[in-house]
Amino acid sequence: MGTVAQTFGRIAGFAAVATLAIGIEAAAAREKITVYTAVEPEELTGFAEAFEADNPDYEIQWVRDSTGVITAKLLAEGENSPADIVWGLAATSLLMMADRGLLEGYAPAGVDKLSPALMDKQSPPRWVGQRAWVASLCVNTYEAEAKGLPMPTSWQDLLKPVYKGHIVMPNPASSGTGFLDVSSWMQIWGEDMAWSYMDGLHENIGIYTHSGSAPCKMAGRGEYPIGVSFAYKGAQLKSDGAPVAVIAPSEGLGWDLESFGIMKTAKNKAGAKAFADWSVTEKANRMYNEAYAVVAMPGIAKPVDNFPENIQDKMIDNDFGWAAENRKRILEEWEKRYGSKSAPK
Amino acid sequence: MSAADSTAFAGRAPIDGGRLVSTLGLLAGVGLLIVFVAAPLATIFIKSLQDDFGAYVGLANFAKYFSSAGLIQSIFNSVEIALVVTVLACLLAFGYAYALTRTCMPGRGLFRAIAMIPILAPSLLSAIALIYLFGNQGMIKGLLFGNSIYGPIGIVLGITFYVFPHVLMIMVTALSTADARLYEAAEAMGTSRWRAFWTITIPGARYGLISAGFVVFTLTITDFGVPKVIGGNFNVLATDIYKQVVGQQSFSMGAVVGLILLFPAIISFSVDRIVRRKQVAQLSARAVPYVPVPNKTRDRAFLAFCSLVAVFLIGIIGTAVFASLVTYWPYNLTLSLVHYDFNAIDPNGWASFTNSLEMAAWTAVIGTSVIFLGAYFVEKSDGLPFARGLLHMLAMIPMAVPGLVLGLAYVFFFSNPLNPLSGFYGTMAILVLSTVVHFYTVSHLSFVTALKQVDREFEAVSASLKVPAYKTMWRVHVPICLPLIIDVAIYLFLNAMTTVSAAVFLYAPDTKLASIAVLNMDDVGDQAPAAAMAIMIVLTSVCVKLVQVVATGSLLRRTSVWRRRDGH
């Protein structure tokens, strides 16, 4: 019997030591900044390390999900949100938050060096753009050839019956990339035509994915040869050796701005401001450029490998205000039309 | 020894500390379960009658739900899937269980072990593996004859894998309790084997079959991992609740779907309870255990059948291992460990895995102690019959509550700033608590059953010797139940490692779990790393199982000397 008691005693002792250790660790920790973001997960560690190297008193705690999820979460949490700063989220979403009075105006040190067109018009700005992500098609060249699929060059091409079941697209309700596609089609063609376009496209879609990068990754593996996604993901996969072509459809490309804004209710406002200040520096902008071709600081951006040429020229004249105002209505209609397909094609 | 006698013994003790302890313990147990089971669940009902801002809206949410064609479609989809899986899994498991209990098929021990494999993995794993096998680039997609794995077929196959061991265990139990005399009589009367099967075997196992059917139905309709990964655009209730809550942050609608999900679970739970009670009374004291005799044709046929099932089970795990090691499927098949470099793929990286270990360890330690004490007070305390009954009843509730619903209930209950316990929200503690509660019932029932077998005379004797009850518990009940205590701890640990459903609503950025990381990585299309993380969970589970085997062996040798005298 003694041995049993001893065993339990040891377990209890271990538990006590473990609790103590956790307590000590917490006490020694740096001050945390809670950051809500929709930036691709593999990029986040690099950004956190770079910021923390310059600001050793702070530690970034990411809350990461796709744009739609993070937006819904912020809007639902409102003033009770644990977020200190929203960072790398679509400007469309930040506009909605600014409208609800959730964001605090703050001019980061050095914000005057950025393109004024890419931030809130109010002074001090409630949100500041960081870099633009741009819609593109990822096409698996190997599978396209094997299946005899011609290379699409426009959005309209995707309606061709030959692509039936070969296209995958992000669900605009969860994915910012999905939403910017839908909103750009509406801005290019008008709403009615855009809906009839999507009715046709729906017939060719294999599945709708949760995130905007998933279609490109699926195209990379050839699971579905054509992915409606964004340029960075395609370029990155191509650089990694995947048989992917990144195509910018001719009618024009939807895009949105990854932007940041400080929460009015931030518990660590000093930390949020420090991160905002860092995010407008040249160093940060150079990091943005590693993946994205269009960044907020003019004159910095170098061409990104494997990006479609002249991608800037094809970016539509995006009306963020319109997109933010109509987002909820568009998504409800989208869900009604395409949200529940009884079986995949 | 009757209760009256033991009360008389206890009455002689001048200061009855033991009785005080057990009364307090009983009340504490009732209090804990009310706070952590009953109260959170009540908030689901309340929330379903409110809008997202907390205003009372009557049945407006339900009206909205039932006016959406898409959401109603999900009910039909869920039921359809659940029915198909129920039939498929029950047939497979019945054949497999029959082979294990009623034939002389070689390698029965091995087959039994193989059948338990799915328990070691999160349900998401089977879905990911199925995509590698039957997806558009799948290794053996030809077997689907052009059908897509994304949708009902994938969900059915994935869930069948996941529920198989659960059904099998029930079937094995049902088929183990056979009375050989019935078969002897049948043979003596010249009854054909086929007829004996339908008139003796099936009726004898009928309660097990019914119970198994309902268990699969519930598990299927409430599982969220498989349809999330492989469902494509085929919506089911479990993914709807996730979409409403996580995707649209509409907690009221989430509550409505949660209540709908609760409905089949409660029905099947009730049927299961009734049926199990009947099963107990089946074997008379004079029954002679059935011992199968060799029969070459039959044994070979079952060997072939079980091998097929085993190949499927091992194939799924093997595919997941392979998926996690291939550098770039399907174009670069060199093996590497790049997908295990979680720190480069996900901001939480390996921390999700260590979080899971920590969460599972706490769940095992705290869960086992609390549940054991609860069962002890239910079974062994004198007096307060009402409190004992209440505690037992509360302990039964978690089994009828799907994990997603429990998680949502915890969000409502603990995120409310008016709740003095709201400090738990967003911590490791709430993950541990929700997991303990989620798996409470099975553990509780096991302990109650074991404690029933310990003669009440122990308490009476120790009371007369003025030994406090807690000392008797520590020196008698704990050692007697030790093998079961280890079993329960392992059961809790494994489930804590693999569970997704409740935790998906409850994790915070610094308490993200490995199973959630699998889900997140799959969401952004990183399937290989998702498979890798799932394999880490499997490896951990395997190690824990091995430790259990060794530990149980050595502990039993040291603490069970008393068993040897028994009956020999």
A49 and chain B in contact, CB less than 8 A = no
Same domain for A125 and A151? no
From residue B148, how far is each of A144, B138, B520 by CA, in Å?
19, 11, 23
Q: Which of A138, A217, A202, A125 is nearest to A171 (CA)?
A: A202
**Is residue B351 very low, low, confident or very high in pLDDT (cuts 50, 70, 90)?**
very high
Q: Count each helix (H run) and each strand (E run) in chain B, helices first.
A: 28, 2
User: What is the pairing mode between strands A255-263 and A103-104?
Assistant: antiparallel
Query: What pLDDT score does B81 carry?
Result: 97
- With contacts defined as CB-CB under 8 Å, which chain B residues touch A75? 249
- With a pLDDT cut of 70, the percent of chain B lying above it is 94
Query: What pLDDT score does B461 carry?
Result: 86
Mean pLDDT across the stretch A167-174?
94
> What's the burial of B241, exposed, middle or buried (CB within 10 Å: 0-12/13-18/19+)?
buried
Instruction: Report CB contact under 8 Å: A69, B246.
Output: yes
Same domain for A139 and A127? no
ipTM of the prediction: 0.87
Pick from A87-101, A273-287, B279-293, B485-499: least confident: B279-293
Higher-confidence residue of B282 and B189: namely: B189
Nearest to A341 among B233, B482, B520 (CB): B233
Q: Which of B265, B266, B248 is nearest to B71 (CA)?
A: B248
Higher-confidence residue of B67 and A199: namely: A199
Which of 303-332 (A) contact B at CB < 8 A?
none
The count of domains in chain A is 2
What token pair was written down for B207? 């309660």
Q: What's the whole-model pTM score?
A: 0.91
**Residue A237 Cα to chain centre, angstroms:** 17
- With contacts defined as CB-CB under 8 Å, which chain A residues touch B246? 65, 69, 72
Nearest to B525 among A209, A336, A344 (CB): A209
From residue A156, how far is each of A185, A189, A315, B401 by CA, in Å?
11, 11, 17, 48
Same domain for A331 and A231? yes
**Is residue A15 very low, low, confident or very high in pLDDT (cuts 50, 70, 90)?**
low
- With a pLDDT cut of 70, the percent of chain A lying above it is 90
Q: State the first-to-last Cα distance of chain B, in angstroms, to the nearest integer.
A: 25
- Confirm if A158 and A254 have CB atoms less than 8 A apart: no
In a domain, A83, yes or no: yes
- With contacts defined as CB-CB under 8 Å, which chain B residues touch A344? 148, 150-151, 232-234
The domains of chain B are located at: 68-329, 341-568
Using the predicted structure, report yes or no on whether residue A29 has a pLDDT greater than 80.
no
**Is residue B560 very low, low, confident or very high in pLDDT (cuts 50, 70, 90)?**
low
Note the maximum CA span of chain B.
Answer: 81
Cα-only R_g, chain A: 23
Same domain for A180 and A80? no
As beta bridge partners, residue B198 has none
Same domain for A68 and A175? no
Same domain for A294 and A227? no
Torsion-angle region of A248 (φ positive above 0: left; ψ -120 to 50: alpha; else: beta): beta
**Is residue A181 very low, low, confident or very high in pLDDT (cuts 50, 70, 90)?**
very high
Query: What pLDDT score does B2 carry?
Result: 42
What token pair was written down for B340? 């295990």
Using the predicted structure, report yes or no on whether residue A277 has a pLDDT greater than 80.
yes
Using the predicted structure, report yes or no on whether residue B13 has a pLDDT greater than 50.
no
Test the A interface: residue of B65, B72, B524, B527 with most A CBs within 10 Å: B524
Query: What pLDDT score does B8 carry?
Result: 43
- Confirm if B231 and B73 have CB atoms less than 8 A apart: no
> What's the burial of B369, exposed, middle or buried (CB within 10 Å: 0-12/13-18/19+)?
middle
Instruction: Report CB contact under 8 Å: B74, A211.
Output: no
pLDDT in tens, A55-68: 999 999 999 999 99
What token pair was written down for B515? 């199973």
**Is residue B513 very low, low, confident or very high in pLDDT (cuts 50, 70, 90)?**
very high
Pick from A10-19, A54-63, A99-108, B360-369: least confident: A10-19
Nearest to B347 among A5, A7, A64 (CB): A64
Sign of CA dihedral A188, A192, A193, A195: positive
What token pair was written down for A94? 């930040």
In a domain, A1, yes or no: no
Using the predicted structure, report yes or no on whether residue B559 has a pLDDT greater than 60.
yes
Determine the distance in angstroms separating the CA of A302 from the nearest CA of chain B, rounded to an integer. 24
Name the H helices within B177-224: 180-188, 193-196, 202-222
Which of 1-60 (B) contact A at CB < 8 A?
52
What token pair was written down for B385? 């019959």
The boundaries of the domain holding residue A44 are 26-132+256-302
pLDDT in tens, B137-187: 999 999 999 999 999 999 999 999 999 999 999 999 889 878 888 888 998
Mean pLDDT across the stretch A30-46?
94
Determine the distance in angstroms separating the CA of A114 from the nearest CA of chain B, rounded to an integer. 28
Using the predicted structure, report yes or no on whether residue B565 has a pLDDT greater than 70.
no
Residue linked to tokens 């912020």: A74
Pick from A309-313, B138-142, B365-369: least confident: A309-313
Query: What pLDDT score does A80 carry?
Result: 85
A146 and chain B in contact, CB less than 8 A = no
Query: What pLDDT score does A6 carry?
Result: 54
In a domain, A232, yes or no: yes
Nearest to A223 among B73, B137, B365 (CB): B137
d(CA B281, CA B296) in angstroms, rounded, equals 34
In a domain, A8, yes or no: no
Chain pair A-B, CB pairs under 8 angstroms: 139
Query: What pLDDT score does A28 carry?
Result: 52
Q: Which of B448, B142, B184 is nearest to B291 (CA)?
A: B184
Using the predicted structure, report yes or no on whether residue B70 has a pLDDT greater than 70.
yes
Query: What pLDDT score does B277 carry?
Result: 75
Test the B interface: residue of A47, A342, A345 with most B CBs within 10 Å: A342
Nearest to A217 among B131, B148, B525 (CB): B525
Instruction: Report CB contact under 8 Å: A217, B510.
Output: no
Using the predicted structure, report yes or no on whether residue B1 has a pLDDT greater than 60.
no
Query: What pLDDT score does B280 carry?
Result: 57
**Is residue B464 very low, low, confident or very high in pLDDT (cuts 50, 70, 90)?**
confident
Specify the long-range contacts of residues B283-290, CB closer than 8 Å, at least 24 apart.
B283/B177, B283/B179, B284/B179, B287/B177, B287/B179, B287/B180, B287/B181, B288/B179, B288/B180, B288/B181, B289/B178, B289/B180, B290/B102, B290/B178, B290/B179, B290/B180, B290/B183
Contacts of A105 by beta carbon, 8 Å cutoff, 6+ apart: A120, A122, A123, A124, A125, A126
d(CA B134, CA B143) in angstroms, rounded, equals 8
Mean pLDDT across the stretch A217-234?
96
Higher-confidence residue of B316 and B416: namely: B316
Fold of B68-329: MetI-like fold (1.10.3720)
d(CA B253, CA A142) in angstroms, rounded, equals 44
Higher-confidence residue of A310 and A224: namely: A224
In a domain, A89, yes or no: yes
B146 and chain A in contact, CB less than 8 A = no
Is domain B341-568 annotated with CATH 3.30.930.10?
A: no
Same domain for A119 and A162? no
B478 and chain A in contact, CB less than 8 A = yes
DSSP string, B74-91: HHHHHHHHHHHHHHHHHH
- With contacts defined as CB-CB under 8 Å, which chain A residues touch B330? 221-222
Q: What is the CATH number of the domain that holds A157?
A: 3.40.190.10
Determine the distance in angstroms separating the CA of B523 from the nearest CA of chain A, rounded to an integer. 6
Dihedral through CA B316, CA B321, CA B322, CA B326, nearest 10?
140
Nearest to A174 among B247, B347, B349 (CB): B247
pLDDT in tens, B192-207: 989 999 998 998 888 8
Same domain for A322 and A228? yes
Using the predicted structure, report yes or no on whether residue B434 has a pLDDT greater than 90.
yes
A200 and chain B in contact, CB less than 8 A = no
3-class secondary structure, A104: strand
How high does pLDDT run on average in chain B? 89
pLDDT in tens, A65-91: 999 999 988 988 888 889 999 999 999
Of how many residues is chain B composed? 568
In a domain, A343, yes or no: no
Mean pLDDT across the stretch A294-318?
91
Q: Which of A334, A34, A304, A12 is nearest to A169 (CA)?
A: A334
Q: Which of B480, B483, B476 is nearest to B458 (CA)?
A: B476
d(CA A27, CA A35) in angstroms, rounded, equals 21
Using the predicted structure, report yes or no on whether residue B462 has a pLDDT greater than 50.
yes
In a domain, A307, yes or no: no
3-state secondary structure A238-275: HHCCCCEEEECCCCCECEEEEEEEEECCCCCHHHHHHH
pLDDT in tens, A106-153: 999 999 999 999 999 999 999 999 999 999 999 999 999 999 999 999
Query: What pLDDT score does B311 carry?
Result: 97
DSSP letter, residue B235: -
- With contacts defined as CB-CB under 8 Å, which chain B residues touch A206? 136, 148, 150, 232
Query: What pLDDT score does B282 carry?
Result: 57
Mean pLDDT across the stretch A190-215?
96
Same domain for A248 and A144? yes
d(CA B8, CA B13) in angstroms, rounded, equals 9
- Confirm if B377 and B27 have CB atoms less than 8 A apart: no
Pick from B289-293, B374-378, B482-486: least confident: B289-293
- Cα–Cα–Cα angle for B149, B152, B154, rounded to 5 degrees: 40
Specify the long-range contacts of residues B382-388, CB closer than 8 Å, at least 24 apart.
B382/B3, B382/B6, B382/B7, B382/B10, B382/B19, B382/B22, B383/B19, B383/B23, B384/B23, B384/B26, B384/B27, B387/B26, B387/B27, B387/B30, B388/B26
Using the predicted structure, report yes or no on whether residue B352 has a pLDDT greater than 80.
yes
Test the A interface: residue of B233, B235, B242 with most A CBs within 10 Å: B233
B329 and chain A in contact, CB less than 8 A = yes
B142 and chain A in contact, CB less than 8 A = no
- Confirm if B459 and B6 have CB atoms less than 8 A apart: yes
Query: What pLDDT score does B564 carry?
Result: 57
Mean pLDDT across the stretch B442-469?
86
